[in-house]
Amino acid sequence: MAAASVLAQIVASGEGVSRAALGQATNLSRMTLAQRLLALQTAGLVREGDSAVPSGGRPTRLLALDPTGAVLLTADMGETHMRLAVTDLAPAVLRQELVPFRIADGPEAAMERLAMGFGRLLSDLGGRRFVAALGLSLPAPVDHRLGRVYGPSILEGWDDFPLGDWLRARYGAPVAVENDVNLMAIFEHRRLAPRPDDFLFVKMGTGIGSGIVANGRLQRGARGASGDIGHMQFLEPGAPLCRCGKRGCFEARAAGWALARDLSNQGLPARNARDVIALFEAGQPEAQALILAAGRAAGEALGHAVALLNPERIVIGGTLAHAGEALVAPIREVLRLRCLPLATADLAVSAAPPVDEACLIGAAHCARELAFGPEGTEAFLLRYRVWLEAA
């Protein structure tokens, strides 16, 4: 379908594309291209930019996806609450809501609460809205092809429930189901300027995980298990026991739960990563020493990742990232000592404290890619035409 190829090229261009470039990319005649563009503009999916750019000495206007043409529904599932949002196609959050739920009530009950919340948000927006796609963030390993949790995880009992299929059946739209750390990686990668092609995001909070971007794209691995850096093992005498049951995991040395354990054993009031940071910010020497040790442990683990992936940028996120340079400086130091100079010559390492909407925006990017990717655009236009005709 010619209109689908035109729309896919416009979305892929990001900031906008000229008619001449569209013609070259789609191999359509000028007349056919003009007809398809007119149809897409009339439908409210494509708009012409206000600013002109030079092209062969003649000004031309760029064509871009109209962010108001449809909406995306995204959800970030936590341990006790789910954060829900409706975004436009930019994506920018239009409405959001925090909804309490209990993991123990099961996945179907959680999905019903999610659907009710989306209903409220859409009602608050007013008007008739076309749902292009949905994105779901989960604090657990995810088989992204099946849209299911792959245990063990804190979402106990959710493994066999088809979350993606349930949402597709409810909304008749494509659904992206992803691990939360991957979505944080997408969010951080998208807001970097200039945007690096090879990038590693490491979440250091209660647990530890990472998201890998190579050649500008998220790398999930064969089944979605890539980036599980928290369970890289460093076997040594007296290696601490990890929550996974093994000894010597990176998490057992540097995750928020492990630092809280160590502080608690020293008689200090620490139950989680937030308590660790509170003690650190209060100037507690024991907490400051543990943050330094966590940074060094992270440097050891990331040294292996740098040797394998050679990223140009590493961003440390999660609750422990509030420690800033106290955490990041020892990471840089260990990387410089352990890695080949070529791998670290241009490597930038920085901290990015958590942003509440990170997973929501990351999920929206995944959902938009699903809706407007090479295999999704034609189905999107078919659904959109049916929706318009039903108005």
CATH code assigned to 193-351:
3.30.420.40
Each residue's pLDDT tens digit, 261-289: 999 999 999 999 999 999 999 999 999 99
Q: Evaluate whether 311 touches 349 at the Cβ level (below 8 Å).
A: no
Predicted pLDDT at 384: 93
- The structure's pTM equals 0.91
* Across 291-320, average pLDDT: 97
User: Within 10 A of 31 (CB to CB), how many other CB atoms are there?
Assistant: 8
* Across 197-201, average pLDDT: 97
Residue 16 vs residue 256, higher pLDDT? 256
Predicted pLDDT at 57: 58
Does pLDDT of 2 surpass 80? no
- Ranges for all domains in the chain classified under CATH 1.10.10.10: 2-65
Predicted pLDDT at 145: 87
Predicted pLDDT at 166: 98
Predicted pLDDT at 52: 54
Q: Which one is the CATH code of 2-65: 2.60.40.420, 1.10.357.10, 1.10.10.10, 1.10.3300.10? A: 1.10.10.10
The b-or-e profile of 111-138 (16+ CB within 10 A means b, else e) is: bebbbebbeebbeeeeeebbbbbbbbbb
Least Cα distance to 142 among 228, 74, 200, 201 occurs for 228
Does pLDDT of 54 surpass 60? no
What pLDDT band is residue 201 in, cutting at 50, 70 and 90?
Answer: very high
Residue 324 vs residue 224, higher pLDDT? 324
Q: Of 54-58, 195-199, 210-214, 222-226, give the lowest mean pLDDT range.
A: 54-58
Predicted pLDDT at 296: 98
Mean pLDDT across the chain: 92
Predicted pLDDT at 302: 97
Phi, psi angle pair for 153, to nearest 5°: -165, 180
Give domain 71-183+358-389's CATH architecture. Answer: 2-Layer Sandwich (3.30)
Predicted pLDDT at 25: 85
SS3 129: coil
Each residue's pLDDT tens digit, 130-174: 999 999 999 999 998 889 998 778 898 999 899 999 999 999 999
Each residue's pLDDT tens digit, 65-121: 999 999 999 999 998 999 999 999 999 999 999 999 999 999 999 999 999 999 999
Does pLDDT of 293 surpass 80? yes
User: Within 10 A of 325 (CB to CB), how many other CB atoms are there?
Assistant: 12
Q: How far apart are CA 238 and CA 177, in angstroms?
A: 39
Q: How far apart are CA 390 and CA 311, in angstroms?
A: 49
Predicted pLDDT at 229: 94
Cis bond before residue 240 (omega within 30° of 0) = no
What pLDDT band is residue 12 in, cutting at 50, 70 and 90?
Answer: confident
- Ranges for all domains in the chain classified under CATH 3.30.420.40: 71-183+358-389, 193-351
